[in-house]
Structure 1
């Protein structure tokens, strides 16, 4: 990924930028724990619980273009610093939200976190492609995104240990005072993990402010426009594919624990552990994808993975018991390369329009705000039948396959 002559110049900045992929991976993948947990702690419906996704990914949509404009003005490094500070603020807001069991405050914290993540992703994704030779940009981005995969493994295990209690009492089981104490205990369990993340982000912000970063800007890269970027047919396709991909991924993880408990007969703790296995396969898939994109064209690999994901989702809908959980877990491997591959293919050849193009791709993450709510509504209206909801991510994989096929035709 680096020539020897470039190594000293790019290595430390690349390591620091890669750490960002891990941190926003923690935040994104904790929602798979947070949604069923808040559903229990705050007594929410399926549709209401998915509003956590809506708040976070709506923030991506709102902040993406301003983040791109911000990058054009302040550069990658300062944009990253701003993103880190906003991200940490959202994490700390979960403390008063838990203390008061106020769902609105939880949504506010998730929204602020989403703004921070949008700023970081708009900066870090293209920056990672520029910290080394252009011909290995896709491989380098997949490598950095592999640490997002590492977070996909760590977050469910940490959330299972520190957030999930494994207890689920009905109103008939407990008296009113005991029930309120139990619900408050469940809400309080989110504070420790989010305080820890917030402090870590502040430490990272200090490191970024102290380390000297190479100047990868040039006159061309400081120009560009959203209109110019949107003229690229492949970017338009990439925006659509990313919209459906993020929607599919968030649907799978947001309802994974409920599916494992109801479809596989598992306890809450066991279901959380299986979500961690999903994350482990996601991480393995990211590292494997880094190697595979060196020997298989990225668009071809994306098409293969989209077709397999469609088949696994169909198994999830049609079968019952542990096979459903195994199919969901396997999805982690095949979803792993989709985001970075779509991103890298989408900004290819944009030149001076790379930054605004990156903003548009980050903006498309709003799919994660829309599809889970549709899925939750479908499940609520199907008598809480979780499997019916998986028709939503299944349909998304068709669009991703078409995007990959479009790139293959171009190649």
Structure 2
């Protein structure tokens, strides 16, 4: 029952994170931004993980898992409310501020919920259990693009010249419709987040004597955890994985709507983004079974090799082959985050909390890699910019094959 309740939290933060992929083309058109400028959305959102992971870790150590999850949901709800004034003001920095608050709440959820699920049962099946929880996260990321295509991308964004040609009344009406396309969905999400916080507060979750508290009340530091090679390599693996996954999702609407690739409207392209994340969901349900039977390290390497091949395919082709090869990457992304996370905290005993905080901080890859890909896209085109995530997956091949092997680990006090 506890796992069931926590998976609803995984669902919500997946939904909110993926909705960024739909807001990016909308904001790019509204504010007439370059790719590098609009990727400030992901830089702000995922940069928050880096800035707030340590404070979130201290919060979890102080409040425990349950209260931290409730707190994270409330902060995320406040962030969602921030989209109302941002859209009304039609001011890009206000959107970035709302993204920061929203991401702060999700960071607290990540720091609390990931290790909670990993510790909620035998260590040897933690990868399988976390992958199953992440499958519900992927359900949220699958539904979000469809939701966004209906409510956000349904409003046809006009250029500055088109707006200037309208009468004053028409301009006011258009601005209202444009704002409501963002305001209404996010007000609804804010209400859902607050209700979910109340539900988790009321529900009696099992109290774990968590490793996070043991670590933070002792004399351990982040450097103590980073001295273990499987943790250090795991931090880079999370950085590159999240960076690649977010980059692909962020560029997909613009990429697929290109004349030589999918030649489709942004609304239709958004549905393919749903298929991309839907593949990750399907893969996680299947992966939770496979990971219980086969070596997580070998599966991780194999899936990363397949994604390298799929990226090479989409870069070197056009039309349907380019479309479906990039959408298929989602299926093989499926087991990567939970598997890397589980391998990164494996056999860390009282240092589990510190290792977990480091891995959550590494989600900053979702800020850095899309920003770099934005610069590449502005200079060499969107299609060839996908060489960057290809290199990210090549590193994950190494992590599964060799980097995740435990050279030494602290003795678990149990």
Q: TM-score range by the shorter chain?
A: over 0.9
TM-superposed CA distance for 1:172, in Å, is: 4.9
User: Could you tell me which of 241, 244, 258 is aligned with 2:240?
Assistant: 244
User: Could you tell me which of 211, 214, 223 is aligned with 1:222?
Assistant: 214
Query: Gapped runs of 5+ residues in structure 1?
Result: 1-11
CA contact (8 A) 2:239 2:366 kept: yes
1:14-56 Cα offsets, whole Å, 9 max, x none, are 2111111100001111111010111112221111111010111
CA contact (8 A) 1:171 1:179 kept: no
Structure-1 residue corresponding to 2:183:
191
Matched, 1:159 2:155: no
User: Could you tell me which of 283, 299, 302 is aligned with 2:300?
Assistant: 302
Structure-2 residue corresponding to 1:256:
252
Closer, same or farther: CA 326–96 of 1 in aligned 2, 3 Å: same
User: Could you tell me which of 131, 135, 140 is aligned with 2:120?
Assistant: 131
Matched, 1:118 2:110: no
- Worse-matched range after superposition: 244-253 or 277-286: 277-286
CA contact (8 A) 1:166 1:268 kept: no
1:153-178 Cα offsets, whole Å, 9 max, x none, are 10011111111126354455554445
TM-superposed CA distance for 1:389, in Å, is: 1.3
- Worse-matched range after superposition: 289-298 or 239-248: 289-298
CA contact (8 A) 2:62 2:213 kept: no
TM-superposed CA distance for 1:221, in Å, is: 5.0
CA contact (8 A) 2:79 2:100 kept: yes
User: Could you tell me which of 269, 272, 282 is aligned with 1:271?
Assistant: 269
Closer, same or farther: CA 364–293 of 1 in aligned 2, 3 Å: same
Closer, same or farther: CA 225–146 of 1 in aligned 2, 3 Å: same
Structure-1 residue corresponding to 2:341:
343
Q: Secondary structure at the match of 2:318?
A: coil
Matches for 1:367-378 after TM superposition, within 5 Å: 367-378=365-376
Structure-1 residue corresponding to 2:66:
77
CA contact (8 A) 1:153 1:278 kept: yes
Structure-2 residue corresponding to 1:148:
137
Q: Give TM-score scaled by structure 1 length.
A: 0.93
User: Could you tell me which of 322, 325, 338 is aligned with 1:324?
Assistant: 322
TM-superposed CA distance for 1:185, in Å, is: 2.7
TM-superposed CA distance for 1:332, in Å, is: 0.6
CA contact (8 A) 1:221 1:354 kept: no
User: Could you tell me which of 372, 387, 392 is aligned with 2:388?
Assistant: 392
Distance (whole Å) between structure 1 residues aligned to residue 263 and residue 365 of structure 2: 30
Closer, same or farther: CA 309–180 of 1 in aligned 2, 3 Å: farther
Matches for 1:9-20 after TM superposition, within 5 Å: 12-20=1-9
Structure-2 residue corresponding to 1:207:
199
Structure-2 residue corresponding to 1:52:
41
TM-superposed CA distance for 1:135, in Å, is: 2.6
Closer, same or farther: CA 22–218 of 1 in aligned 2, 3 Å: closer
Distance (whole Å) between structure 2 residues aligned to residue 46 and residue 24 of structure 1: 25
TM-superposed CA distance for 1:409, in Å, is: 5.4
Distance (whole Å) between structure 2 residues aligned to residue 256 and residue 166 of structure 1: 19
CA contact (8 A) 1:59 1:118 kept: yes
Query: Gapped runs of 5+ residues in structure 2?
Result: 408-414
CA contact (8 A) 1:41 1:187 kept: no
Distance (whole Å) between structure 2 residues aligned to residue 80 and residue 71 of structure 1: 9
Distance (whole Å) between structure 2 residues aligned to residue 246 and residue 118 of structure 1: 14
TM-superposed CA distance for 1:134, in Å, is: 2.6
RMSD: 1.8
Q: Secondary structure at the match of 1:64?
A: helix
- Worse-matched range after superposition: 211-220 or 128-137: 211-220
CA contact (8 A) 1:142 1:286 kept: yes
CA contact (8 A) 1:41 1:184 kept: no
Q: Secondary structure at the match of 2:347?
A: coil
CA contact (8 A) 1:166 1:269 kept: no
Q: Secondary structure at the match of 1:386?
A: coil
TM-superposed CA distance for 1:410, in Å, is: 5.1
Distance (whole Å) between structure 2 residues aligned to residue 220 and residue 365 of structure 1: 19
**Aligned residue pairs: how many?**
398
